[in-house]
Amino acid sequence: MYHSSRAQAFLRSTPAAAWILPLALGCAGGTTAGNTLAECRELAPASVARRAPEWNGTVFSIVMENHSLSDIRGNRQAPFLNSLIAGYALAAGYHDSYVHPSEPNYIWMVAGENFGILNDRDPRPASSIDSTSHLVDQIERAGLSWKSYQESMGAPCGLKSHGRYAVKHNPFVYFADVNGSDGTVFQPSERCDSHVVDYAELAADLESGTLPDYVFITPDLRNDMHDGSVAQGDTWLGNEVPRILASAAYQNGGVLFVLWDEGSGQSDDPPFIVVSEQAKRGYVSDVEYDTSSYLKTVQAVLGLEPLPCDPDPSATLAMDDLFEVPLPSFTTEGRPDVGPSPAVQ
């Protein structure tokens, strides 16, 4: 398995020149400057998340594929996306974490590092990530709920790519405490089956009003612009996003992030759009944000500890300037400060 403590020991005991070159060769043609093998901090003891009332809805993320901002912004083949850019907030200074290919970028979105992974392989029992400090562990410890909705996956907890479903775009199943790896075989549990589901389940959850607090959506390889065109992806979003925006989970303090894993041709300049009633309308930010900024913003909205796999969370900016309503600020204990609890008011 990928053990963060073992990786840390490797970095401490190995001269920099000995490991920088292999990392650079690990993904030909791509940058690996952000590659991280860091030991995560243990999560704080389980406690109920204290979410600010302005941010009490669902946090949605839809992740698209392999396009730079210049491919989307102003493109006549993407009218729906450009309507979102005009009507909500755009992080024009956003970049990925300088790792390629796709898989490490997706893992970074939910853990704040890539655990040294620089490939697109399906998960394997012996190389699953042995960490319990990633986002969905935080969510469950805080008494919140989550689901990953994967288009074209079919049966839940899909650990093998097939058809238009690519496991590399489903980060949660790379973690041993989700995929059930014991180092030799997978033993998927009810946790994986009930949380990593086919995209078709989203319609039922929208209809029943049972959306979780955190929703991660991956379109299939055609609709996420990986194999399909910009126009195909834009049409898919134009059909699907309005259903999310009509939900109470979004309208009552929710936020939708529409982002791309990386730019065109393994460049590092993908689009990042924030859709929220709290977003600054028509705003374009030139602040330099990255994938860790995105994760820290998700954690702030959900009332979670920031970036437990980052050695210096305070050095990463949350995406405050994209919103009219301030994001919860972090206390010295690493918890969002949302004011006094009702018990002491």
Residue 13: the pLDDT is 31
Query: pLDDT tens-digit profile of 128-140?
Result: 999 999 999 999 9
* DSSP states of 282-316: TEEE-S-B-HHHHHHHHHHHHT--S-TTSS-GGGS
Q: Give the per-residue pLDDT at 20.
A: 37
Tokens of 18: 């000995």
pLDDT at 48: 67
φ, ψ for residue 198, nearest 5 deg:
-70, 150
Look up residue 89 and give its two tokens.
């907030």
Looking at residue 94, its pLDDT comes to 98
Band of residue 247 on the pLDDT scale cut at 50, 70, 90: very high
| Cα–Cα dist 271/294, whole Å | 12
What is the C-alpha separation between 206 and 219, in angstroms, rounded? 17
In this structure, are strands 196-198 and 214-218 parallel, antiparallel, or unpaired?
Answer: unpaired
In the structure, what pLDDT confidence band is assigned to residue 295 with cuts at 50, 70 and 90?
very high
Query: What average pLDDT does the segment 40-54 reach?
Result: 78
72 and 270 in contact (C-beta within 8 Å)? no
The residue among 218, 225, 172 whose CA lies nearest residue 195 is 172
- Give the mean pLDDT of the chain: 88
Q: What structural domains and CATH numbers belong to the chain? A: 2-43+54-338 (3.40.720.10)
**Burial class (CB within 10 angstroms; exposed 0-12, middle 13-18, buried 19+) of 21:** exposed
pLDDT band at 30 (very low <50, low <70, confident <90, very high): low
- Residue 201 has which token pair? 């389940």
Question: For position 236, what pLDDT does the model report?
Answer: 98
| pLDDT level of residue 2 (50, 70, 90 thresholds) | low
Model confidence at 328, pLDDT cuts 50, 70, 90, reads confident
pLDDT of residue 8: 37
> What percent of the chain is modeled with pLDDT above 90?
78
The mean pLDDT of 290-315, rounded to a whole number, is 95
The mean pLDDT value for 327-341 works out to 53
Annotate 192-231 with three-state secondary structure: HHHHEEECCHHHHHHHHCCCCCEEEEECCCCCCCCCCCHH
pLDDT at 204 over 90: yes
| C-alpha–C-alpha distance, residues 99 and 110, integer Å | 15
For residue 1, name the pLDDT band (cuts at 50, 70, 90): low
Q: What is the DSSP code string of 127-170?
A: G-EE-S-SHHHHHHHTT--EEEEETT--SSS--S-BTTB-GGG-
Quickly state the pLDDT bin for 44 (edges 50, 70, 90).
Answer: confident
- Residues facing 59 on adjacent strands: 214, 255
Strand order in the sheet with 272-276: 196-198, 146-150, 214-218, 59-64, 255-260, 272-276, 89-91, 283-285
Mean pLDDT of 107-125: 96
